[in-house]
Amino acid sequence: MDFEPWWLIAVPILFALGWIAGRVDVRQMLSETRNLPDSYFKGLNFLLNEEPDQAIDAFVEVAKLDPETTELHFALGSLFRRRGEVERAIRVHQSLLSRADLPVADREHAQHEIAQDFLKAGMLDRAEQAFETVQDTRFALPAVRALIRIYESEHDWPRAIDAVKRLRALVDEPVPQLVHYQCERAQLAMSAKPPDLQAASEALDAADHAARALRGQANGQACEARIAMSRASLAKLNQNAGRERMYLESVLTAAPEYAGLVAADILELYRAAGQQVQGLELLKNHYARYPSLDMFNVVFRELRLQQGYSPAWEFAREALRAHPSLLGLDRLLEAEMSSGDTPAAASGVTPGADLGLLRSLIHKHTQRLDRYSCRVCGFEARHFYWQCPGCNSWETYEPRRLEELKP
């Protein structure tokens, strides 16, 4: 490689230009640093010393002194909201929105932030209005999801359904709760005075359509069970016992884990048709494949009624031997006590007062087990819910009692 004499001139020039550029950057940085208020450095110092409250106060002072610090406003507002100081968060974001010179992107951001503030404060009307204003911005997706939560909490199912349609236009993903929205809409129509059976039928058809996207998924059984139970309720209003029984029986095959929720109704329909023996056999066979406490209770009581205590207690002994359960024992003792008779020696249980004492002792320990529980927030209830009253999550209740749930 040949040596070029002009390199002797070019190399020093390049070094000089680099040195000048570095000096300019340092001077610029020092100039900007000198322009920062002392409160900014105080805030940083408080953060380093793990004193967040004092740091927040210092940064608030910075925001007051320099209204151009929009990012600091956003950070403070979000921090206030997370800490539960919603009023302060609202004031921070309102101060941003009051600025006429605020860029469009920052104004949209501030509008979305204040909508979240209103939602956190429980001011649903104002939150709804604020989220509506950012529907055509880059915050459209979180805004629509927030609106769905608002309409859910207000039980405004038609608007929730419309919001889900808007969500589907933004992202192609199944929305399992849409099935429940349609079922809730059907339930409202059936409970109206007088019942709007046509509207209920249309809502359930829409629920069926929404459920098709969920077939084969983990939550598909829950949707199938709810639709079938809702259609059975509609058939009952139409005084069509045959279709009511057909829909309830479909739960046994389409959603067998939920059979305990409909077992008593199925048995009553068979009894009304004079076919209680066939109904009992159907439920016994289902229990053999999908044992549950609710199904056990229905089968034991019906066996006791139809065939007497010996077959009933034989079934109970075999069932409890295969699936030990204090709650199951409590259920059968309760049924035996309420029957007015006492089991004979063949039943293997001590008759008379000892049976009542045994049931009393067991019942004290099983009261806390005789509940359904939300797997998200742990809210317990004696009745089964499709939507948890505690955290408003859907399909978080297992159709089994606490004692049956695996730890």
Question: Does any domain span residue 154?
Answer: yes
Q: So what's the pLDDT on residue 359?
A: 63
Average pLDDT score over the chain: 79
Q: What is the mean pLDDT of residues 68-73?
A: 69
Q: Among 248, 291, 283, which residue's Cα sits nearest to residue 400?
A: 291
Q: How confident is the model at residue 27 (pLDDT cuts 50, 70, 90)?
A: very low
Residue 344 lies in a domain: yes
Mean pLDDT of 345-357: 51
The pLDDT of 57-74, averaged and rounded, is 59
Q: Tell whether 309 and 382 lie within a shared domain.
A: no
First-residue to last-residue Cα distance in the chain: 77
Enter the pTM of the model.
Answer: 0.76
pLDDT above 90 for 108: yes
For residue 179, the one-letter residue type is V
Q: Does residue 359 share a domain with residue 401?
A: no
Q: For residue range 112-133, list pLDDT tens digits in order.
A: 999 999 999 999 999 999 999 9
The pLDDT confidence band at residue 200, using thresholds 50, 70 and 90, is: very high
Residues 89 and 154 in one domain: yes
pLDDT digits (tens, 9 = 90+) for 218-231: 567 889 999 999 99
DSSP label at residue 262: T
- Final residue in a domain of this structure, among 119, 145, 173: 173
For 232-270, what is each residue's pLDDT tens digit? Answer: 999 999 999 999 999 999 999 999 999 999 999 999 999
* C-beta separation of 304 from 378 below 8 A: no
Whether 348 has a pLDDT exceeding 80, the answer reads no
Residue 251 lies in a domain: no
What's the pLDDT at 47?
44
Count of beta carbons in the 10 Å neighbourhood of residue 127:
22
Amino acid 53: pLDDT: 57
Of 294, 307, 305, 232, nearest in space to 263 by CA = 294
396 and 346 in a common domain: no
Last residue of a domain, one of 108, 138, 173: 173
Are 83 and 152 in the same domain? yes
- Summarised one tens digit per residue, pLDDT across range 296-332 is 889 988 998 899 878 888 888 888 888 877 777 777 6
CA distance 49 to 396: 43
Residue length of the chain = 407
Q: Is 391 annotated as a binding residue?
A: yes
Greater confidence, 18 or 352? 18
Which range of residues forms the domain containing residue 355? 297-370
Q: What angle do CA 262, 265, 267 make, to 5 degrees?
A: 110
pLDDT over 70 (residue 163): yes
Q: Which of 304, 290, 368, 295 is nearest to 333 (CA)?
A: 304
Structure tokens at 57: 């106060």
Would you say residue 125 lies in a domain?
A: yes
Q: How far apart are CA 179 and CA 237, in angstroms?
A: 21
pLDDT the model gives residue 239: 95
Q: What is the pLDDT of residues 135-159, one digit of tens each?
A: 999 999 999 999 999 999 899 999 9
**In a shared domain, residues 320 and 405:** no
CATH label of the domain that carries residue 129: 1.25.40.10
Are both 25 and 103 inside the same structural domain?
A: no
The answer on 71 and 169 residing in a single domain is: yes
User: What secondary structure letter does DSSP report for 387?
Assistant: B
Looking at 128, 149, 173, the residue that finishes a domain is: 173
Instruction: Decide if 253 contacts 283 (C-beta within 8 A).
Output: no
Q: Are 228 and 247 in contact (CB under 8 A)?
A: yes
Q: Is 377 annotated as a binding residue?
A: yes
Task: Please check whether residue 308 lies inside any domain of the structure.
Answer: yes
> Minimal CA–CA distance to 232: which of 217, 254, 215?
254
Q: Does the bond joining 12 to the residue before it have cis omega, within 30 degrees of 0?
A: no
Domain assignment of residue 192, yes or no: no
* pLDDT of 110 above 80: yes
Tally Cβ neighbours within 10 Å of residue 93.
28
Determine the pLDDT at residue 256: 93
Answer yes or no: do 17 and 84 share one domain: no
365 and 387 housed in the same domain: no
- Residue 205 placed within a domain: no
Cα separation, 229 vs 231, in Å, equals 5
Least Cα distance to 270 among 249, 285, 301, 295 occurs for 249
In this structure, what token pair is assigned to residue 60? 């608030």
Lowest mean pLDDT among 32-36, 316-320, 326-330, 333-337: 32-36
380-404: pLDDT as tens digits: 998 899 999 888 889 899 898 887 7
- Residue 303 maps to a domain: yes
The pLDDT confidence band at residue 161, using thresholds 50, 70 and 90, is very high
Q: Are residues 74 and 160 in the same domain?
A: yes
In this predicted structure, the answer to whether residue 166 has a pLDDT above a threshold of 50 is yes
pLDDT at 160 (0 to 100): 94
Which residues share a beta bridge with 372? 381
User: Structurally, how many domains does the chain consist of?
Assistant: 4
For residue 22, pLDDT beyond 60: no
Peptide bond into 399 cis (omega under 30): no
Greater pLDDT, 195 or 321: 195
Q: Is 175 left (phi over 0), alpha (psi -120 to 50) or beta?
A: beta
Q: Are residues 372 and 401 in contact, defined by beta-carbon separation less than 8 angstroms?
A: yes
Answer yes or no: is 223 a known binding residue: no
pLDDT of residue 314: 86
Domain co-membership, 311 together with 349 = yes
